[in-house]
Amino acid sequence: MRKLIRLAVLVGLAIWAWRRFAGPSGPQQRAGVSYADGSSIVLEPGSAGFERLASIARAALRQ
Amino acid sequence: MDAAQALRELAELSSQIETAVVLDADGSVLASTHEDPARAAALASSTLELVGAAFELNAQPQEVMRVEVELEDAALFVLRDGGRTIAATTGSQPTSGLVVYDLRTCLQRITEPEQKKKRKTIRKVKEDTE
């Protein structure tokens, strides 16, 4: 039983350390579009599509 | 329900939505949380531009139903249903599923009475012809 608790604590610490040091830092940026036919696309920063949508959104959010 | 009333309820219901605008099928502003009409028109213009850009992203011409753009410190959501469009801005890292649900509910509240009216009109026409 003690070994099990120790293992659970170690796993918890490992997950926390992974998220803290190796996980994504800062707020995540992304864009998504859904269409009438049920299809959808997710655009990541750096892609031309994302930059196009982001520039329009930035202008809208500044107002 | 009146679009302005639906937006007021949305603003009360959602703690994440900061500003919102509802557009008619022709792109005109039906209601807005902005008191300044110029700011409402500016958000409406950006919304239409965003929908146009999203439309161009797809190789096959398909109607855009939803656009979400999440940036560092804020996000913009656009949802379309029944010919109407609703756009809303939020702060950073919004719960997008919840925001989309609230926006869809708002649009449906605006659309529902008209659909009921149409059904009544169809029923009346049927009764008159019988």
Q: Write the DSSP string, B17-72.
A: EEEEEEE-TTS-EEEES-SSHHHHHHHHHHHHHHHHHHHHHSSS---EEEEEEE-S
Say if A11 falls within a structural domain. no
Task: Give the number of domains in chain B.
Answer: 1
Taking CB atoms and an 8 Å limit, are B47 and A60 in contact across chains?
yes
Q: What is the pTM of this model?
A: 0.77
Query: Is pLDDT above 90 for B23?
Result: yes
Q: Which residues contact B15 (CB under 8 A, 6 or more apart)?
A: none
Structural domain boundaries enclosing A51: 25-63
Note whether A46 contacts B: Cβ–Cβ < 8 A: no
Taking CB atoms and an 8 Å limit, are B73 and A27 in contact across chains?
yes
Nearest CA in chain A to B36: A63
Say if A58 falls within a structural domain. yes
Q: Rounded CA gap, B81 and B48, in Å? A: 14
Say if A14 falls within a structural domain. no
- pLDDT band at residue B2 under the 50/70/90 scheme: confident
Taking CB atoms and an 8 Å limit, are A29 and B68 in contact across chains?
no
Structural domain boundaries enclosing B112: 3-129
Query: Is pLDDT above 90 for B44?
Result: yes
Say if A40 falls within a structural domain. yes
- With beta carbons less than 8 A apart as the criterion, state whether A55 and A45 touch: no
Task: Give the number of domains in chain A.
Answer: 1
Given this model, what pLDDT does residue A62 score? 86
Given this model, what pLDDT does residue A26 score? 58
Given this model, what pLDDT does residue B57 score? 92
In tens, the pLDDT along B68-127 reads 999 999 999 999 988 899 999 999 989 999 999 999 999 988 866 555 555 555 555 566
Say if A15 falls within a structural domain. no
Q: Rounded CA gap, B44 and B40, in Å? A: 6
The rounded mean pLDDT for chain B is 86
Taking CB atoms and an 8 Å limit, are A27 and B64 in contact across chains?
no
Given this model, what pLDDT does residue B110 score? 86
- B112: domain CATH number is 3.30.450.30
Query: Is pLDDT above 80 for B67?
Result: yes
Query: Is pLDDT above 90 for B17?
Result: yes
Say if A2 falls within a structural domain. no
Percent of chain B with pLDDT over 70: 85
Say if A56 falls within a structural domain. yes
Nearest CA in chain B to A63: B39
Count of pairs with CB atoms under 8 A, one residue in A, one in B: 88
ipTM > 0.85, yes or no: no
Average pLDDT for B10-36: 91
Note whether A58 contacts B: Cβ–Cβ < 8 A: yes
- With beta carbons less than 8 A apart as the criterion, state whether B111 and B82 touch: yes
Say if A4 falls within a structural domain. no
- Report the SS3 class of residue B98: helix
Mutating which of A30, A41, A52, A61 best tests the B interface, going by the most B Cβ atoms within 10 A?
A: A61
In tens, the pLDDT along A2-55 reads 888 999 999 999 988 887 777 665 558 999 999 999 999 999 999 999 999 999
